[in-house]
Structure 1
């Protein structure tokens, strides 16, 4: 890719980053989301103990609806990140294949240059004078 921006997320990764670094960043982001979910679950458990009134109360129902919406948003975010993770793996594999092909080509060209240098006569200082 001649473009200096990442094809996957140009707004997030403005310059070319190694696929392994992108994968590490995605894993870090997923771990952050999971940590936040754990914190939300702990807060929910603490707040559920503080809820007064009957179990079927209107306030509780509204609170449950709000929490459900938040959890659905978190789930949707995780699903999006999971699909982008597959895309990242695919791009990583393509980049590795391209790298291997380029290394092979460089090795062949170095071999040719080495043999050409062996067959080119080195001029003596007398030959260098005009």
Structure 2
């Protein structure tokens, strides 16, 4: 029986960033799910139970902070917030809401891959 790949959900409304991160994760051997907004993210998490969530903050329909809070009501899936919001108070808020890590954009793909590993 083939070994199950680690599944990572990438949540961002920036299509180019989604594609770039997805490509790099797939090249590293991960299975990738995509969501373009917070509502899609919640649906993907409830339906597919990914092993890790990479979560943007500034998105339509539901921001990443709200998604993080909602996810923590039913799941312990690791969450890495990836956002342009780099102020300390934003980082603290994300971590207090249950995120496991916080990266600011512009994103260094090598650093992201190291944190994912």
Task: State the TM-score bracket (shorter-chain normalisation).
Answer: under 0.3
Q: TM-score, normalised by structure 1?
A: 0.20
Specify the structure having the higher radius of gyration (Cα): 1
| Higher-strand-fraction structure | 2
The structure whose residues are more often helix, as a share, is: 1
More contact order relative to length (CA 8 Å, sep ≥ 6): 1
